[in-house]
């Protein structure tokens, strides 16, 4: 228990996607020597050349600055990583399994095993990926089985809470750190890997492996539930003529409730919330406590219904049929300031409109390449004016500032008809109506 820790550990970050690339860059920026590792040679080549392979505000600049210090480098070689690091962060993907609600942890296993086999001295492997409860304990047993005899390797869990679009700030100034460990040494070694963050006074929760795994999925489940809660109220509003925007505002003044994540609209998507709540429900089922989180199925269902309801509103505005209707779909990313289209509500709606015969033209400021790759059947516009030109209905699906700030009068000159569905409650309804637009939003009466 009194074993010494490496005061300024060298770090590896295995899996350099949204999470890992950000972690590697930020840790190098605050002074650590960091080696980023990925199985994707293209990603590694881009990062090594100072290019972030996805859109994240501020990250490119920080990457180029830290590369220039010589503290940050990249490789595809696991043996090099094993040799280099004192603390190894596992940041690979844990997507939803095909044909199942559960999480696919095969990448986490593969990455951890490849690393552990090459270790030759005491090291700490730290999982950051979001995983089903119990994964860390399995990995620990696997690591002990495959690490060369005499190599003392420990495993810890440090769940990550960063938000895309705010990834740098969330990594350097997180709300809290959670360290799940099985020894004093592991906790102290992990602290030494976060010294600059802890010195800022960041709250630290020290716990066991299972609690650390659970914190992440519990947090995401809460956030998803809060969004679906207000969207469930939107459904009630639609049946009664009440206005969910005003309802949400009135609720938000109650400090016990709070206004964040209480915004009604098209609901959540992305590479985390949807798959995480499904994986959590599936894991709880396996653990015999499925009933305790069965509400998550409702949370998911409410979220899905917002997408079909948005299609309904567009159809209504179009006069009852979507056949041949020109629709300008504004947004593709699952949220603004990101190019991430994983389980994006925007593209799901665009796809449904397309399948009902609408002539859909999609525009997004950052996510066009990703969207084209995933939905090659949709039509894409090169700019906002091009997307709305001649449209019968405009539907706002991702609340980019560029769309929020567009002038209703100018938009009006471009479209075929002044009809808009505001899927994110992001537009100024009064300004649009004043400019002669027919304005519709989820959970709001046609007149408010
Ligand atoms: P991502 O798909 O962007 O990145 C995953 C990376 O892992 C890819 O670059 C892939 O090539 C690499 N990889 C796959 N198998 C590998 C292996 N065997 N060895 C090395 N690299 C390998 O995913 P992401 O969004 O960065 O998410 C990673 C994890 O972090 C997930 O568990 C996710 O739930 C969690 N997470 C993500 C966020 C977020 O905002 N994106 C936030 C918190 C937690």
Quick: pLDDT tens for 294-307. Answer: 999 999 999 999 99
Q: Are residues 308 and 425 in the same domain?
A: yes
Q: Are residues 203 and 58 in the same domain?
A: yes
Q: Are residues 373 and 398 in the same domain?
A: yes
CATH of residue 159: 3.40.50.720
Has residue 258 been placed in a domain?
yes
Residues of each annotated binding site for NAD(+): 38, 43, 94, 130, 164, 275, 342
What is the number of structural domains in the chain? 2
| pLDDT above 70 coverage of the chain, percent | 99
Name the residue range of residue 58's domain.
Answer: 11-207
Q: CA 338, CA 154: separation in Å to the nearest integer? A: 35
What is the pLDDT, as a whole number, of residue 1?
Answer: 54
Q: Comparing C-alpha atoms, which of 103, 164, 176, 160 is closest to residue 134?
A: 103
Has residue 214 been placed in a domain?
no
Active site residue 207: no
Question: Among the three residues 207, 233, 250, which one is the final residue of a domain in this structure?
Answer: 207
Predicted confidence (pLDDT) per residue in 370-380, tens digit: 999 999 999 99
Structure-token pair, residue 309: 């309801």
C-alpha of residue 97 to centroid of ligand 1, in Å: 14
C-alpha of residue 14 to centroid of ligand 1, in Å: 9
Phi, psi of 187 (to 5 degrees): -60, -45
Q: Are residues 241 and 390 in the same domain?
A: yes
Q: CA 24, CA 277: separation in Å to the nearest integer? A: 27
Residue nearest to ligand 1 atom 8, measured at CA? 17
132 lines ligand 1 (CB under 6 A): no
What is the pLDDT, as a whole number, of residue 447?
Answer: 75
Instruction: Report the b/e string of 233-245 with b at 16+ CB within 10 A.
Output: bbbebbeeebbbb
339 lines ligand 1 (CB under 6 A): no
Instruction: Compute, in degrees rounded to 10, the torsion defined by CA atoms 299, 300, 304, 306.
Output: 20
Predicted confidence (pLDDT) per residue in 421-448, tens digit: 999 999 999 999 999 999 999 999 987 5
Residue nearest to ligand 1 atom 10, measured at CA? 15
C-alpha of residue 358 to centroid of ligand 1, in Å: 35
Predicted confidence (pLDDT) per residue in 315-358, tens digit: 999 999 999 999 999 999 999 999 999 999 999 999 999 999 99
Has residue 216 been placed in a domain?
no
343 lines ligand 1 (CB under 6 A): no
Residue nearest to ligand 1 atom 28, measured at CA? 93
CA 356 to chain centre: 29
Instruction: Compute, in degrees rounded to 10, the torsion defined by CA atoms 168, 205, 110, 101.
Output: -90
Residues of each annotated binding site for substrate: 161-164, 216, 261-265, 269, 335
Question: Among the three residues 207, 240, 257, which one is the final residue of a domain in this structure?
Answer: 207
User: Which atom of ligand 1 sits closest to the CA of residue 20?
Assistant: 26
User: Which atom of ligand 1 sits closest to the CA of residue 128?
Assistant: 30
User: Which atom of ligand 1 sits closest to the CA of residue 37?
Assistant: 20
Q: CA 299, CA 320: separation in Å to the nearest integer? A: 29
Residue nearest to ligand 1 atom 44, measured at CA? 160
213 lines ligand 1 (CB under 6 A): no
User: Which atom of ligand 1 sits closest to the CA of residue 21?
Assistant: 26
Beta-carbon contacts of residue 158 (< 8 Å; ≥ 6 apart): 89, 126, 127, 128, 177, 178, 179, 180, 190, 212
Q: Are residues 202 and 231 in the same domain?
A: no
What is the pLDDT, as a whole number, of residue 448?
Answer: 59
Q: CA 412, CA 394: separation in Å to the nearest integer? A: 10
Q: With the C-alpha atoms ordered 134, 136, 137, 138, is the resulting torsion angle positive or negative?
A: positive
Q: Are residues 143 and 277 in the same domain?
A: no
- pTM higher than the cut 0.90: yes
Give the active site residue among 26, 91, 237, 272.
272
User: Which atom of ligand 1 sits closest to the CA of residue 54?
Assistant: 3
Residue nearest to ligand 1 atom 27, measured at CA? 93
Structure-token pair, residue 167: 């990834």
Q: Which of 13, 15, 163 should be mutated for ligand 1, with most atoms under 8 A from CB?
A: 15
What is the pLDDT, as a whole number, of residue 3?
Answer: 83
Has residue 76 been placed in a domain?
yes
Question: Among the three residues 173, 207, 241, which one is the final residue of a domain in this structure?
Answer: 207
Residues of each annotated binding site: 38, 43, 94, 130, 161-164, 216, 261-265, 269, 275, 335, 342
Has residue 294 been placed in a domain?
yes
Phi, psi of 324 (to 5 degrees): 75, 5
Structure-token pair, residue 131: 């995983």
370 lines ligand 1 (CB under 6 A): no
Q: Are residues 172 and 203 in the same domain?
A: yes
Beta-carbon contacts of residue 160 (< 8 Å; ≥ 6 apart): 19, 23, 91, 128, 129, 130, 216
C-alpha of residue 106 to centroid of ligand 1, in Å: 12
Has residue 149 been placed in a domain?
yes
3-state secondary structure the chain: CCCCCCCCCCEEEECCCHHHHHHHHHHHHCCCCEEEECCCHHHHHHHHCCCCCCCCCCHHHHHHHHHHHCCEEEECCHHHHHHHCCEEEECCCCCECCCCCCECCHHHHHHHHHHHHHCCCCEEEEECCCCCCCHHHHHHHHHHHHCCCCCCEEEEECCCCCCCCCHHHHHHCCCCEEEECCCHHHHHHHHHCCHHHHHCCCCEEEECHHHHHHHHHHHHHHHHHHHHHHHHHHHHHHHHCCCHHHHHHHHHCCCCCCCCCCCCCCCCCCCCHHHHHHHHHHHHHHCCCHHHHCHHHHHHHHHHHHHHHHHHHHHHHCCCCCCCCEEEEECCCCCCCCCCCCCCHHHHHHHHHHHCCCEEEEECCCCHHHHHHHCCCCEECCCHHHHHCCCCEEEECCCCHHHHCCCHHHHHHHCCCCEEEECCCCCCHHHHHHCCCEEEECCCCCCC
Q: Are residues 170 and 270 in the same domain?
A: no
Mean pLDDT of the chain: 97
Q: Are residues 271 and 361 in the same domain?
A: yes
Q: Are residues 53 and 187 in the same domain?
A: yes
Has residue 83 been placed in a domain?
yes
Segment 228-257 shows an average pLDDT of 97
Predicted confidence (pLDDT) per residue in 95-134, tens digit: 999 999 999 999 999 999 999 999 999 999 999 999 999 9
Q: Are residues 237 and 328 in the same domain?
A: yes
The Cβ of residue 81 has, within 10 Å, a number of other Cβ atoms equal to 22
Q: CA 174, CA 177: separation in Å to the nearest integer? A: 7
Phi, psi of 439 (to 5 degrees): -115, 130
Predicted confidence (pLDDT) per residue in 61-108, tens digit: 999 999 999 999 999 999 999 999 999 999 999 999 999 999 999 999
Q: Comparing C-alpha atoms, which of 345, 346, 326 is closest to residue 389?
A: 326
Residue 266 has pLDDT above 70, yes or no: yes
Judged by phi (left if over 0) then psi (alpha if -120 to 50, else beta), residue 150 lies in left
33 lines ligand 1 (CB under 6 A): no
Has residue 215 been placed in a domain?
no
Q: Are residues 182 and 268 in the same domain?
A: no
Q: Which of 16, 18, 103, 283 should be mutated for ligand 1, with most atoms under 8 A from CB?
A: 18
Q: Which of 22, 92, 270, 334 should be mutated for ligand 1, with most atoms under 8 A from CB?
A: 92
Beta bridge partners of 124: 87, 154
What is the pLDDT, as a whole number, of residue 153?
Answer: 96
Residue 413 has pLDDT above 70, yes or no: yes
164 lines ligand 1 (CB under 6 A): yes
């Amino acid at each position: 228990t009194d074993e010494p820790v490496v005061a300024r550990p060298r770090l590896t970050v295995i899996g350099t996607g949204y999470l890992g690339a950000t972690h590697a860059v930020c840790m190098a920026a605050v002074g650590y020597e960091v080696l980023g590792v990925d199985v994707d040679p293209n990603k590694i080549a881009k990062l090594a050349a100072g290019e972030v392979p996805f859109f994240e505000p501020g990250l490119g600049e920080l990457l180029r600055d830290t590369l220039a210090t010589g503290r940050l480098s990249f490789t595809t070689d696991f043996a090099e990583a094993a040799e280099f690091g004192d603390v190894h962060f596992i940041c690979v993907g844990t997507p939803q399994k095909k044909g199942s609600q559960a999480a696919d942890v095969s990448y986490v296993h593969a990455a951890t095993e490849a690393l552990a086999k090459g270790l030759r001295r005491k090291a700490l492997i730290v999982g950051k990926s979001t995983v089903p409860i119990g994964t860390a304990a399995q990995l620990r047993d696997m690591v002990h089985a495959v690490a060369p005899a005499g190599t003392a390797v420990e495993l810890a869990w440090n769940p990550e809470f960063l938000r895309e679009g705010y990834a740098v700030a969330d990594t350097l100034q997180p709300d809290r750190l959670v360290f799940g460990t099985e020894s004093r040494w592991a906790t102290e070694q992990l602290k030494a890997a976060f010294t600059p963050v802890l010195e800022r006074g960041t709250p630290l929760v020290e716990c066991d492996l299972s609690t650390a795994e659970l914190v992440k999925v519990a947090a995401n489940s809460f956030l998803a539930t809060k969004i679906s809660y207000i969207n469930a109220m939107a459904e009630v509003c639609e049946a009664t003529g009440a206005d969910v925007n005003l309802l949400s505002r009135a609720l938000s003044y109650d400090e016990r409730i709070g206004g964040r994540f209480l915004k009604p609209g098209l609901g959540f998507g992305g590479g985390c919330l949807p798959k995480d709540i499904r994986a959590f429900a599936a894991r709880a089922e396996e653990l015999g406590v499925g009933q305790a989180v069965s509400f998550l199925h409702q949370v998911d269902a409410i979220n899905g219904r917002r997408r079909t309801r948005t299609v309904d509103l567009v159809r209504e505005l179009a006069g009852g049929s979507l056949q041949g209707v020109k629709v300008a779909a504004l947004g593709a990313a699952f949220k603004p300031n990101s190019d991430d289209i994983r389980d994006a509500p925007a593209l799901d709606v665009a796809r449904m409109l397309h399948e009902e015969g609408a002539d859909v033209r999609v525009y997004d400021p950052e996510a066009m390449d990703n969207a084209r790759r995933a939905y090659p059947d949709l039509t894409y516009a090169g700019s906002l004016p091009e997307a709305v030109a001649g449209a019968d209905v405009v539907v706002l699906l991702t609340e980019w500032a560029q769309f929020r700030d567009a002038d209703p009068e100018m938009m009006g000159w471009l479209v075929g008809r002044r009809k808009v569905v505001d899927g994110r409650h992001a537009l100024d309804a009064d300004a649009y109506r004043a400019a002669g637009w027919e304005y519709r939003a989820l959970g709001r009466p046609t007149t408010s």
